[in-house]
């Protein structure tokens, strides 16, 4: 416990008066749904905030409030930030959608950016990341790496975001390994590391030798390490402490480029409402280092797949694709439209089991 450093900074703070703020600073607010110490979702957004501070230095001031419940508390925190002169506010949880719209109505001069939602306004933009592009790369590696042909998948809640990831990973695993089978477990919680550990153990016991996770803790990595021969991927953060094995790669949310660009736009007066859904190409989704545990040819293919998506030449949902019930979804060469993807509530053909309702 770093008490010594805490005490040292305490001594300093006692001597400090509140610093006077320069008027020309751009003030950027961040509303977080979890604690910055969650090591996952909020942690990555906070890294984006720190990147903004580093990039602009004295020209910006950032503020944040963490662990803000969705609903009236979020609305109050946003209002408070706006009252105190924030020029731009990022609200980083789906459940902040209606509060963001409400507050934005009251402060037409303040710009709002809402993550993962779909409601926009003249001063409200929405932004989200195409994680499913990363899932495609993961699926490709997973399909190649599995020997038991069973891939375990840990989901949080059955929402479109998670379902999209499962479909994307499955399509690409199946492409390289027609015998592959997905076992999907829903944890029904956003955050419960112990339960994630249980879920991973269960999947491993039932023969899965690759675990994909749509939950943020490293619990599945540890379970895989203990099992010895199970492959995992980092989620939300790089989880490189488990590299080179079991963690062979990862999908990282990198919000920094977007946050910097939007802050710049506010400074320049060029900010406009937008509906941004960025992926690998724009750098919002990053693929963590693919370790040497992955055979060289597989790694090369995976990087090629990533490059194709980065160049905009390849879409993970390209026909011919059928839905789970056998009905046609995408014809040969057709790619999925964003509307369908955003609200995806079906499995693609080949996946077993039902999406719980």
Residues 250-279 touching another protein, rule: CB under 8 A, are none
Question: Cα separation of 303 and 298, whole Å?
Answer: 9
Torsion of CA 305, 307, 313, 319, to 10 degrees: 20
Which one, 68 or 336, has the nearer CB to another protein?
68
Question: Cα separation of 25 and 84, whole Å?
Answer: 13
Query: Tokens 């999925």 map to which residue?
Result: 336
Which one, 259 or 302, has the nearer CB to another protein?
259
Judged by CB under 8 A, the residue of 41, 43, 233, 255 near another protein is 43
Judged by CB under 8 A, the residue of 4, 16, 228, 297 near another protein is 16
Question: Cα separation of 27 and 111, whole Å?
Answer: 11
Stretch that binds another protein, among 70-78, 166-174, 253-261, 282-290 (CB under 8 A): 70-78
Question: Cα separation of 342 and 163, whole Å?
Answer: 10
Shortest Cβ 139–another protein spacing (Å): 19
Which one, 106 or 178, has the nearer CB to another protein?
106
The answer to whether the bond into 244 is cis (omega within 30° of 0) is yes
Helix, strand or coil, per DSSP, at residue 165? helix
Interaction between residue 142 and another protein (CB under 8 A): no
Which one, 98 or 301, has the nearer CB to another protein?
98
Judged by CB under 8 A, the residue of 25, 39, 329, 335 near another protein is 39
Question: Cα separation of 152 and 141, whole Å?
Answer: 14
Which one, 32 or 299, has the nearer CB to another protein?
32
Interaction between residue 63 and another protein (CB under 8 A): yes
Shortest Cβ 303–another protein spacing (Å): 26
Interaction between residue 350 and another protein (CB under 8 A): no
Query: Tokens 């999907």 map to which residue?
Result: 184
Interaction between residue 113 and another protein (CB under 8 A): no
Interaction between residue 65 and another protein (CB under 8 A): yes
Question: Cα separation of 177 and 13, whole Å?
Answer: 60
Contacts of 206 (CB under 8 A, 6+ apart): 150, 152, 183
Q: Contacts with another protein in 323-342 (CB under 8 A)?
A: 339, 342
Phi, psi of 211 (to 5 degrees): -120, 125
Stretch that binds another protein, among 28-36, 48-56, 140-148, 304-312 (CB under 8 A): 28-36
Stretch that binds another protein, among 76-84, 129-137, 316-324, 328-336 (CB under 8 A): 76-84
Q: Contacts with another protein in 156-185 (CB under 8 A)?
A: 157-160, 183-185
Contacts of 49 (CB under 8 A, 6+ apart): 28, 30, 62, 64, 90, 259
Judged by CB under 8 A, the residue of 50, 176, 192, 282 near another protein is 192
Q: Nearest to residue 218, comparing CAs of 70, 68, 43? A: 43
Contacts of 307 (CB under 8 A, 6+ apart): none
Judged by CB under 8 A, the residue of 52, 60, 81, 212 near another protein is 81
């Amino acid at each position: 416990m770093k008490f010594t450093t805490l005490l040292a900074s305490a001594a300093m703070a006692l001597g400090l008066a509140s610093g006077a703020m320069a008027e020309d600073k751009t003030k950027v607010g961040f509303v977080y749904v979890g604690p910055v110490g969650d090591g996952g979702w909020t942690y990555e957004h906070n890294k984006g905030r720190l990147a903004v501070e580093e990039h602009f230095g004295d020209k910006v001031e950032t503020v944040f409030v963490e662990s803000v419940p969705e609903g009236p508390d979020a609305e109050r925190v946003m209002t408070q930030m706006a009252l105190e002169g924030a020029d731009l506010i990022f609200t980083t949880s789906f459940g902040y959608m209606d509060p963001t719209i409400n507050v934005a109505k009251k402060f037409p001069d303040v710009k709002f950016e809402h993550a993962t939602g779909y409601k926009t306004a003249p001063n409200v933009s929405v932004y989200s990341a195409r994680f499913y592009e990363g899932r495609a790369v993961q699926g490709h590696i997973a399909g190649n790496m599995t020997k038991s042909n069973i891939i375990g998948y840990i989901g949080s809640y059955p929402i479109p975001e998670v379902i999209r990831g499962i479909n994307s990973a499955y399509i690409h695993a199946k492409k390289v390994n027609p015998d592959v089978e997905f076992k999907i477990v829903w944890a029904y919680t956003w955050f419960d590391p112990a339960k994630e550990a249980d879920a991973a153990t269960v999947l491993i016991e039932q023969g899965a030798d690759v675990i994909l996770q749509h939950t943020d803790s490293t619990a599945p990595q540890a379970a895989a390490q203990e099992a010895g021969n199970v492959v995992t991927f980092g989620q939300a953060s790089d989880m490189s402490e488990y590299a080179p094995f079991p963690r062979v790669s990862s999908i990282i949310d990198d919000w920094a480029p977007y946050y910097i660009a939007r802050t710049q736009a506010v400074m320049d007066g060029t900010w406009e409402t937008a509906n941004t859904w960025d992926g690998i190409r724009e750098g919002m989704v990053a693929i963590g280092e693919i370790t040497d545990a992955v055979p060289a040819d597989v790694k090369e293919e995976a990087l090629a797949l990533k490059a194709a998506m980065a160049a905009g030449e390849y879409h993970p949902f390209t026909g011919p694709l059928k839905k789970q019930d056998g009905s046609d979804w995408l014809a040969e060469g057709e790619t999925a439209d964003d509307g369908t993807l955003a609200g995806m509530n079906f499995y693609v053909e080949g996946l077993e089991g039902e999406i719980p309702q």
